[in-house]
Structure 1
Amino acid sequence: MNPLISSYNELKANRIDLWFIDPLQLTNFSDDYIKSILSPDEITKFASFKHKEAQQIFLITRLFTRLILSQYVLCSPINLQFSRNKHGKPELLGNPNNIRFNLSHNNHLIVMAVTINDDIGCDIESPERRISILPISKRYFAKQEHQALSLLTSEAQQQLFFKYWTLKEAFVKAVGVGISLGLDTFYFNINEVDDKQVIKLQFNDTYPLAKHNNWRFYQKTLNKQMLAICRESSIEQSINYIDAQSLFKDK
């Protein structure tokens, strides 16, 4: 077991464990190692990929997920079982301590947020990606966010766009329905108060779900990537950042 975690009992209701790793650090997995971690179905799917890059992403994220969650339920990674809700969000089966998790990745970083009991979502994006900000925000974001972006230019506009983007993705993943919720049905106000970022979620009339849940948001730059975490909780959270590199020492 990883020495950073002695048991799931250390994961308290007021803490989120945020595991992270640079996928470029992970190469050359042996066949025996893969077979010792992944399920037979995952190995079959891994072998079915035609494109090497997609195959590698699938492999690393599945290894990452199993190795981390096995730290909390105290069993072998290969014995973990999962289900998915109707929108595709994975959940851990045989989970009496109600470990909840969510994963996000790109070519530069993989992260997984782990907590207990509460719905959680996370997202990362590279804030350096060059995209057509205003056309995208006009089509997909709430009008309040598009208007806020329209008042900015250059780097400030770029940064705010990816703050909105990651917060929105983290939220819809925590809710468990994905972007089918409608990214324009809710919006964020982000302000600086006493050198601290204050994030407020607000809803438009078209938002289809309950509006009284206690959603909490956390955002920072991690390894040059924009990170957002959303958790439904009535209490303030501390975030424990854990480098997952040591989990792969036997690869």
Structure 2
Amino acid sequence: MNIIWKSPSKHLTINPQEVHIWKTNLEQLSIDFQNSFNLLNEEEKIKAQRFHFEKHQKRFTLARSSLKKILSFYLSISPQDIKFQYSDYGKPKIIDKINLINLQFNVSHSEDIAIYGVTCDYFIGVDVEYIRPMPEAENLAKRFFSQKEYQQIRGLSSEEKNREFFKLWTGKEAYLKAIGKGIGGGLEKVEISTHKPIKFINLPECNNINYNLLYLTPHDNYLAAIAVEENEQTYHYWQLN
């Protein structure tokens, strides 16, 4: 998929028939680290400082501050005024008082790349992974994937096995994040067909709602998956610099 990532205006609109996907390079944002840190509330600052390694502190800080900047474009308020509440599984949502257009969002980051998904009314989950050698891919598939998926991975060459593992992993995690459960919701219960047409073929706790599955390459050696409630949406792509 050949994607053109556009630069946003300060005020964006979105409707239920649109899915907005954002990306940012956290390494490029590091020059603004102090300003980004100042956008966090006290609880978020404490969480950032709990990370043992400085690079992980920076990635959390930059990913969270970037999320606030992105959401502020739609809500027309200051990033500092973006406040969240959390589900029992830790999934954040914007507090109702300021979320007058019912924005839904999700975020994922791996190494230096962060991906954000934004919709209006419809649940969305995103996952991004840095593609790296996974000699344990087959063992992990046997443990966390369905029997059918494991058999599919088992018969592939090493390079194909690696790619297929990440496609299945990111797709499963994106869906589980969309429904607010995370990977604890059961990776093996989510089944995906990665052959065209790419689609979910088994979804737990979907309440008879279908989900679209989209894969994209936000940067060299990265793979992202987007899972969103099916509503014949159009996709728009933005880059936060």
TM over 0.5: yes
Aligned to 2:226: 229
Instruction: Give the distance between the partners of 2:107 and 2:33, measured in 1 at CA.
Output: 24
Matches within 5 A, 1:110-125: 110-125=114-129
Alignment match of 2:139 (pick from 107, 132, 135): 135
Q: Could you tell me whether the CA contact under 8 Å between 1:122 and 1:169 is conserved in 2?
A: yes
Aligned to 2:176: 172
Instruction: Give the distance between the partners of 1:119 and 1:28, measured in 2 at CA.
Output: 33
Shift of 1:34: 4.0
Q: Which of the pair has more CA radius of gyration?
A: 1
Aligned to 1:249: none
Alignment match of 1:239 (pick from 224, 235, 238): 235
Aligned to 2:25: 22
Distance 1:101 1:210, change over 3 A: closer
Distance 1:3 1:153, change over 3 A: closer
TM-score by length of 2: 0.88
Instruction: Give the distance between the partners of 1:215 and 1:20, measured in 2 at CA.
Output: 22
Q: How many residues align?
A: 233
Distance 1:47 1:226, change over 3 A: closer
Shift of 1:190: 1.9
Shift of 1:44: 3.9
Alignment match of 1:217 (pick from 213, 216, 219): 213
Structure 1 unaligned blocks of 5 or more: 193-197, 246-251
Distance 1:154 1:58, change over 3 A: same
Shift of 1:214: 1.7
Helix, strand or coil at the partner of 2:31: coil
Q: Could you tell me whether the CA contact under 8 Å between 2:37 and 2:61 is conserved in 1?
A: no
Instruction: Give the distance between the partners of 1:210 and 1:30, measured in 2 at CA.
Output: 39
Distance 1:180 1:6, change over 3 A: same
Instruction: Give the distance between the partners of 1:59 and 1:18, measured in 2 at CA.
Output: 20
Shift of 1:18: 1.0
Structure 2 unaligned blocks of 5 or more: 1-5
The C-alpha deviation readout for 1:5-34, integer Å capped at 9, x for no partner, is 4645x2122221111111111223364x24
The C-alpha deviation readout for 1:205-247, integer Å capped at 9, x for no partner, is xx4x2452121111122202111000012x22222111100xx
Identity of aligned residues (%): 28
Q: Could you tell me whether the CA contact under 8 Å between 1:122 and 1:230 is conserved in 2?
A: yes
Matches within 5 A, 1:184-203: 184-192=188-196, 198-203=197-202
Aligned to 2:54: 52
